[in-house]
């Protein structure tokens, strides 16, 4: 079978590697294929595999050009499945799958999930609990919208991901600083052009938690499990950990709401990630991502269920019924970490934590000699992660927190002058 992968994400290279191992042909279309060589230890071997074709295309973010490219590929060597692990490219993937007559999400559903303002406006008036919000397409209208919602509030680009440019605003100075920063942001790198739409939302307090789901080919929503997402604190919202589990007191309500949300949005295919804030009034919808959850969570899902979700994404794209990674008896969780100051990585060591109870794995994202920034703005500030298992999420989180103190991070920093 021939799989067309439209961009990827660093951890998603594992899905490409697994598909190649099973004998599938994989074509990866990317604006910058070298990016993955720098962030995934699996990319080099995958690219060198005889069944892997890597196409560098500056048009990978243009739906029209990408569709034309896909049609040409399909004519040369029939494509049997189209997919992505990239949040930025979910609409593109849906459009290409539709053009080739292959399984995939509806373009409307993908767009409603991808663009946060469309999620809000589509669900407005349906009874789904959302924060009060204002949507503007002109940056000149942001100030008025912020005053409509009131301080404190949260501002975010409609098409962002990984907490990029998502900020808690407490006063007028925060607003002025944010507008000045956003004025310089025209893209997210790798050819991804930012749309002008911005959401201003009421600030909602509460634990961040997500529902991981799979929508089968007939539109049936299967809710799999929950992922908790501790955050780093204000003013940015950096995700610092994750535990994949089941059994939360609000699980039934979260599952029922997710099914309703996905149906209302027209999200009718694939693995889906839906985030909520657990407010005093109940779960408040944060956002919907029309793809498999990112970061380390697919690995956590595989540890506890024995099912590789990266591979199941590909199987579903090929028209097969995926095996579903429900949480098992063992709970798996992890924690990301960053640098306390800007500098250059000398070494990141895990020797002191490898014998701790429940240790599963650890990974440094930065090689010696790599410049890093202080953990301060987004998930892209992570420099590594650790993963532990335990009987439940309380034990897993406790083990992860204790292990952070055992990480041997060595850096070179400039002296204060």
Dump pLDDT digits (tens) for 66-93: 999 999 999 999 999 999 999 989 999 9
CATH of domain 2-102: 3.40.50.20
Q: Confirm or reject CATH 3.30.565.10 for domain 132-202, answering yes or no.
A: no
Write the DSSP string, 291-317. Answer: S---TTHHHHHHHHHS--HHHHHHHHH
For residue 211, the Cα-to-chain-centroid distance in whole angstroms is: 13
Predicted model pTM: 0.93
CATH number for 204-321: choose from 3.30.460.80, 3.40.50.1220, 3.30.470.20, 3.40.630.30: 3.30.470.20
The Cα–Cα gap between 1 and 306 comes to: 24
Say what the pLDDT of residue 156 is: 87
Q: In which residue ranges of the chain is CATH 3.30.470.20 found?
A: 204-321
Say what the pLDDT of residue 60 is: 77
Say what the pLDDT of residue 410 is: 97
CATH superfamily of 329-416: Aldehyde oxidase/xanthine dehydrogenase, a/b hammerhead (3.90.1170.50)
Say what the pLDDT of residue 395 is: 97
CA terminus-to-terminus distance, the chain: 60
Say what the pLDDT of residue 15 is: 93
Say what the pLDDT of residue 254 is: 98
Length of the chain in terms of residues written: 417
- State yes or no: cis peptide before 152, omega within 30 of 0: yes
Residue with tokens 């028209």: 319
**Is residue 77 classed as helix, strand or coil in its secondary structure?**
coil
Say what the pLDDT of residue 244 is: 98
Write the DSSP string, 33-75. Answer: THHHHHH-TTHHHHHHSTTEEEEE-TTTT-HHHHHHHHHHHHH
Residue with tokens 């010696």: 368
Q: In which residue ranges of the chain is CATH 3.40.50.20 found?
A: 2-102
Residue stretches of the chain with pLDDT short of 50 = none
Say what the pLDDT of residue 58 is: 83
Residue with tokens 């709970």: 331
């Amino acid at each position: 079978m021939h799989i067309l992968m439209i961009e990827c994400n660093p951890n998603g290279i594992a899905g490409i590697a697994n598909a190649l191992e099973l004998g599938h042909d994989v074509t990866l279309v990317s604006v910058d294929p070298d990016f993955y060589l720098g962030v995934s230890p699996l990319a080099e071997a995958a690219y060198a595999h005889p069944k892997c074709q890597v196409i560098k295309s500056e048009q990978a973010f243009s739906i029209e050009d990408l569709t034309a490219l896909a049609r040409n590929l399909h004519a040369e060597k029939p494509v049997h499945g189209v997919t992505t692990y990239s949040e930025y490219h979910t609409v593109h993937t849906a459009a290409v799958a539709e053009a080739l007559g292959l399984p995939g999400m509806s373009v409307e559903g993908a767009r409603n999930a991808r663009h946060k303002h469309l999620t809000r406006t589509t669900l407005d008036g349906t009874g789904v609990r959302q924060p009060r919000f204002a949507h503007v397409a002109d940056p000149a209208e942001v100030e008025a919208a912020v005053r409509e919602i009131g301080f404190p509030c949260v501002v975010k680009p409609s098409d962002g991901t990984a907490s990029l440019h998502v900020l808690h605003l407490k006063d007028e100075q925060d607003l002025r600083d944010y507008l000045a920063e956003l004025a310089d942001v025209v893209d997210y790198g790798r050819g991804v052009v930012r749309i002008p739409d911005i959401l201003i939302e009421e600030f909602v307090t509460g634990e961040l938690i997500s529902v991981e789901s799979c929508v089968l080919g007939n539109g049936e929503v299967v809710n799999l499990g929950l992922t908790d997402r501790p955050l780093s604190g204000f003013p940015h919202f950096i995700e610092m950990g994750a535990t994949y589990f089941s059994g939360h007191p609000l699980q039934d309500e979260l599952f029922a709401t997710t099914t309703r949300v996905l149906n209302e949005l027209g999200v009718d295919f694939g693995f889906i990630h839906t985030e909520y804030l657990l407010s005093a009034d109940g779960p408040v919808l944060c956002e919907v991502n029309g793809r498999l959850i990112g970061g380390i969570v697919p690995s956590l899902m595989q540890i506890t269920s024995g099912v590789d979700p990266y591979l199941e994404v590909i199987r579903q794209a090929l028209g097969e019924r995926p095996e579903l990674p429900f949480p098992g008896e063992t709970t798996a969780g992890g924690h990301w970490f960053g640098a306390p100051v800007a500098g250059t990585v000398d070494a990141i060591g895990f020797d002191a934590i490898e014998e701790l109870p429940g240790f599963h794995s650890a990974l440094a994202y930065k090689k010696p000699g790599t410049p890093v920034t202080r953990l301060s703005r987004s998930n892209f500030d992570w420099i590594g992660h650790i993963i532990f298992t335990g009987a439940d999420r309380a034990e897993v989180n406790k083990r992860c927190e204790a292990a952070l103190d055992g990480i041997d991070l060595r850096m070179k920093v400039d002296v204060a002058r």
